[in-house]
A and B are shown apart, each in its own frame.
Chain A
Amino acid sequence: GEQVEQLPSILRVQEGSSASINCTYENSASNYFPWYKQEPGENPKLIIDIRSNMERKQTQGLIVLLDKKAKRFSLHITDTQPGDSAMYFCAAGNSNNRIFFGDGTQLVVKP
């Protein structure tokens, strides 16, 4: 299997600042690392993902970093806005048909 640890569980930041969420995994065979955002009352939606052939990926104010040696990956949200307030889940997996989710980070962006 796989264990994915996600920290912090709650993150409060000021609007306009950056927010970082960190995840670690155990299985060196993991090669796919998605991030999902879940707004209150909604279902989770993929916001960005990275595969093991990359170390960094960026899209629309989101940056993901992958350190395969340390088995660590992270999400960085630059210039946070109130609309970024949500639950964020990291996950890790490979071609074995399932992914393993972290327990989630509740991001609160204060105006």
Chain B
Amino acid sequence: GGIITQTPKFLIGQEGQKLTLKCQQNFNHDTMYWYRQDSGKGLRLIYYSITENDLQKGDLSEGYDASREKKSSFSLTVTSAQKNEMAVFLCASSIQGAAEQFFGPGTRLTVL
């Protein structure tokens, strides 16, 4: 088995601040994803990466940057935090696109 860790678990920032969320996986999976989940809602794909140094935009990429520094890690940057993007950010990984995605525990973002 493997595990996905996300840091921090809770992130509090000021409006307009640049904030970075980190994700690590030890599954040795090629593909990693960042999703945003607003309270009680579905999963919206922000960015994904099919291999180290690759980056693909999802449906909600505006206002975010991402970086796949190495196969095991994928970070997400909120370029200018806004109050309307308070949500849980979920990282996931899979061996390939059409396969089970394993999700991390999430980072809950609060913007003051």
| CB <8 Å contact, A97 and B105 | no
Q: Report yes or no: B56 in contact with A97, Cβ–Cβ below 8 A.
A: yes
Does residue A54 face the partner (Cβ distance < 8 Å to B)? no
| Residues B42 and A95 in contact, CB atoms below 8 Å apart | no
Q: How far is the CB of A25 from chain B (nearest CB, A)?
A: 13
Q: Which interface residue of B33, B56, B98 has the most chain A CB atoms within 10 A? A: B98
Residues of chain B within 8 A (CB-CB) of A31 are: 98
Proximity string of chain B (83-101) to chain A, C-beta cutoff 8 Å, 1 when within and 0 when not: 0000000100000111111
Q: Are A95 and B96 in contact (CB under 8 A)?
A: yes
Q: Does the CB pair A98–B43 fall under 8 Å?
A: no
B window 33-66: CB within 8 A of A = 33, 40-43, 45, 48, 50, 56, 58
| CB proximity of B8 to chain A, nearest CB, Å | 16
Given the contacts A96-B97, A97-B48, A99-B98, A89 and B43 also touching, CB distance less than 8 Å: yes
The complex places the Cα of A45 from the Cα of B43 at a distance, in Å, of 13
List residues of A (96-111) whose CB comes within 8 Å of B's CBs: 96-99, 101-104, 106
Is B101 touching A95 in the complex (CB atoms < 8 A)?
Answer: no
Q: Please, how many residues of chain B have a CB less than 8 angstroms from a CB on the other chain?
A: 22
* CB of A48, distance to nearest CB on chain B (Å): 10
Residues of chain B with a CB closer than 8 A to A97's CB: 31, 48, 50, 56, 96-97
Residue numbers in B under 8 Å from A43 (CB-CB): 90, 103-106
B interface vs A, CB < 8 Å? 31, 33, 40-43, 45, 48, 50, 56, 58, 90, 96-101, 103-106
Using A34-B100, A43-B103, A93-B97 as known contacts, list a sample of 18 further A-B pairs with CB atoms less than 8 Å apart, ordered by residue number in A: A32-B98, A32-B99, A43-B104, A43-B105, A44-B90, A44-B103, A51-B98, A89-B43, A93-B98, A94-B98, A95-B97, A97-B48, A97-B56, A98-B97, A99-B97, A99-B98, A101-B42, A104-B42
Shortest 10 CB-CB distances between A and B: which pairs? A97-B97, A32-B98, A43-B103, A103-B42, A46-B100, A104-B42, A101-B43, A97-B50, A95-B98, A44-B103
